[in-house]
Amino acid sequence: MAKTRSWRWSLPALLLAGQAHATGSQFNMTPGVTDISQRVYDLHMTIFWICCAIGLVVFTAMFVSIILHRKSRGVEPATFHESTKVEIIWTAIPVLILIVMAIPATKVLIAMEDTSDSDVTVLITGSQWRWHYEYLDYNIDYFSILATPRGQIEGRLPKGDNYLLEVDRPLVIPTGKKIRFLMTSDDVIHSWWVPAFAIKKDTNPGFINEAWTMVNEPGIYRGQCAELCGMDHGFMPIVVIAKEPEDFAIWVEQEEARIAAIREEEQRLLALRMDIDEQMALGERVYLAHCAACHQPSGEGLPPMFPALKANRVTTEDRAEHIKVMVDGRPGTSMASFARQLSLRELTSVITYTRNAWGNDTGDVVQAVEVYEYMQGKGE
């Protein structure tokens, strides 16, 4: 049954693939949209053609020999088996070719590593399996997660143009400014890769790496995590939107306002009582977006790495522990803290949802104030 369903979607998938090509070559590295990426591309093409030339010489000699020097043509084998002169020549020539390659490579590398005099700094934090962006110059930070619906991945819905390369909140940067990226991780090693900028840098837990870019053209640039980081390594894309500086300034203003509004709403929420239906509806949406990858839509998890939430002691009995795990995460496991990632409203709803879904039926309706008090209590 599952097989027939997946086959049915293969045709539209292949057709859509044709449209997606417009953004970059299907055969070659992208020249990208920065001076550095252009230089990397040029370097790549130079060494590519040198390698082709070497291959051509070697393979020509080999195939000429295969065609001419075969026993079936009645040739007598020669007896030479060494020549110091020839051997010195074909040791020296590759050395020269390598030096020719090494000089531009060194120059580009040194330029890539110079992160001084930046205009904007963004701290990128990888975690399983989402990116967190924090603008050190502004009051802005947010998570960026895969926006492709599960239905498209499982073949129940037709796949969109940007299948697996779309996120809920992209990173936004200004064009023509030097952006410095600081990179770290909350759990395992990830690698932040945007081909159009020629940046691929590992995010190491407990350490900070640096990279920089200056984008010339406004546009949307997509990338992916490039270091195996566990189960959903293939599902943590990167989307960067480069805007003109004026548009970027507007975005910063709106984003700061949005984040302030969320904080305000949180305060209002504390006085409010949400009913169970509202919480269940929102909770289910949050659960499917943030929790279902590990704990599964059925709540049965993938034990022992990802425990079942269905009929789990924490989700059915220990309410305080449940809130604690959601807010703090479980150190040393893949269970991250969701305190910053979800709004108070989302956090509350998803707790209520898991306490009532899949036959957990505790009847508990958790309220925002309860979660908030735990978070505050921790702060003191």
Partner 1 sequence: MSTVTTADQHDAHHDHKPTGIKRWLFTTNHKDIGSLYLMFALAMFFLGGAMAMVIRLELFQPGLQFVDPQFFNQMTTMHGLIMVFGAVMPAFTGLANWMIPMMIGAPDMALPRMNNWSFWILPFAFLILIISMFLPGGGPDFGWTFYAPLSTTYSNDSTALFVFSVHIMGISSIMGAINVIVTIVNMRAPGMTWMKLPLFVWTWLITAFLLIMVMPVLAGVVTMVLTDKYFATSFFDAAGGGDPVLFQHIFWFFGHPEVYIMILPAFGIVSAIVPTFARKKLFGYASMVYATASIAILSFLVWAHHMFTTGMPVFATLFFMYTTMLIAVPTGVKVFNWVATMWRGAMTFEVPMMFALAFIVLFTIGGLSGVMLAITPADFQYHDTYFVVAHFHYVLVSGAVFSIVAAVYYWLPKWTGHMYDEKLGQLHFWCSLISVNLLFFPMHFVGLAGMPRRIPDYALQFADFNAFVSVGGFLFGLSQLIFLWVVIKCARGGEKAPAKPWEGAEGLEWEVPSPAPYHTFDTPPEIK
Task: Determine the interface stretch with partner 1 among 91-99, 336-344, 345-353, 363-371 (rule: CB under 8 A).
Answer: 91-99
Give the pair of three-digit tokens for residue 1: 């049954």
Other beta carbons less than 10 A from residue 153's beta carbon: 16
Interaction between residue 34 and partner 1 (CB under 8 A) = no
**Near partner 1 by CB under 8 A: residue from 119, 141, 202, 265:** 202
Question: Max Cα separation, the chain?
Answer: 99
The answer to whether 258 and 343 are in contact (CB under 8 A) is no
Which listed range, 22-30, 251-259, 271-279, 351-359, lies at the site for partner 1 (CB under 8 A)?
22-30
Mask: binding to partner 1, 255-294, rule CB under 8 A, as x and -? ----------------------------------------
Q: Long-range pairs for 232-236 at CB < 8 Å and ≥24 separation?
A: 232/128, 232/129, 232/293, 233/129, 234/164, 235/129, 235/146, 235/148, 235/153, 235/164, 235/293, 236/126, 236/129, 236/130, 236/131, 236/145, 236/146, 236/190
**Tokens 């895969």, located at residue:** 146
Q: Closer to partner 1 at the Cβ: 179 or 225?
A: 225
Which residue from 135, 171, 215, 227 is in contact with partner 1, where contact means CB under 8 A? Answer: 227
Nearest partner of 145 among 377, 338, 344, judged by Cα: 338
Stretch that binds partner 1, among 172-180, 240-248, 283-291, 302-310 (CB under 8 A): 302-310
Which class for 22: exposed (0-12), middle (13-18), buried (19 or more C-beta within 10 A)? Answer: exposed
Question: Which range in 49-57, 239-247, 252-260, 322-330 contacts partner 1 by CB under 8 A?
Answer: 49-57
Contact positions with partner 1 (CB under 8 A) in 131-150: none
- The whole-angstrom separation of Cα 27 and Cα 72 is 41
Least Cβ distance, residue 29 to partner 1 (angstroms): 5
Q: How far apart are CA 314 and CA 316, in angstroms?
A: 6
Candidates 124, 187, 221, 360: give the one binding partner 1 (CB under 8 A).
187
For residue 163, give both structure tokens. 């299948």
Please, which residues bridge with residue 194 across strands?
199
Binding flag, residue 44, partner 1 (CB under 8 A): yes
What gap in Å lies between CA 279 and CA 346, rounded to an integer? 8
Does residue 298 bind partner 1 (CB under 8 A)? no
* Binding window for partner 1 (CB under 8 A); candidates: 137-145, 205-213, 270-278, 339-347: 205-213
CB burial readout 102-126, b (16+ within 10 A) else e: eeeeeeeeeebeeeeebebbbbbbb
Exactly one of 65, 139, 267, 298 binds partner 1 (CB under 8 A); that residue is 65
Residue whose CB is less far from partner 1, 13 or 259? 13
Q: Alpha-carbon distance 307 to 45, whole Å?
A: 49
Q: Which of 341, 344, 350 is nearest to 371 (CA)?
A: 344
Q: Is 302 in the site for partner 1 (CB under 8 A)?
A: yes
Instruction: Report the nearest approach of partner 1 to the CB of residue 212 (Å).
Output: 13
Indicate the residue among 250 and 305 with the shorter CB distance to partner 1.
Answer: 305
> 62 or 257: whose CB is closer to partner 1?
62
Q: Element (H or E) spanning 240, and its range?
A: strand 237-243
- Asked if 21 is part of the footprint of partner 1 (rule: CB under 8 A), the reply reads yes
- Using CB under 8 A as the binding rule, whether residue 159 contacts partner 1 is answered as yes
Q: Please tell me whether the peptide bond between 218 and the residue prior to it is cis, using omega within 30 degrees of 0.
A: no
Q: Which stretch binds partner 1 (CB under 8 A): 171-179, 206-214, 265-273, 308-316?
A: 206-214
Binders of partner 1 in range 303-362 (CB under 8 A): 303-305, 332-334
Q: Which of 149, 155, 176, 219 binds partner 1 (CB under 8 A)?
A: 155
Q: Is 164 in the site for partner 1 (CB under 8 A)?
A: yes
How many residues lie near partner 1 (CB under 8 A)?
Answer: 112
Structure token digits, residue 368: 């925002």
Stretch that binds partner 1, among 70-78, 268-276, 278-286, 351-359 (CB under 8 A): 70-78
Q: Does 51 bind partner 1 (CB under 8 A)?
A: yes
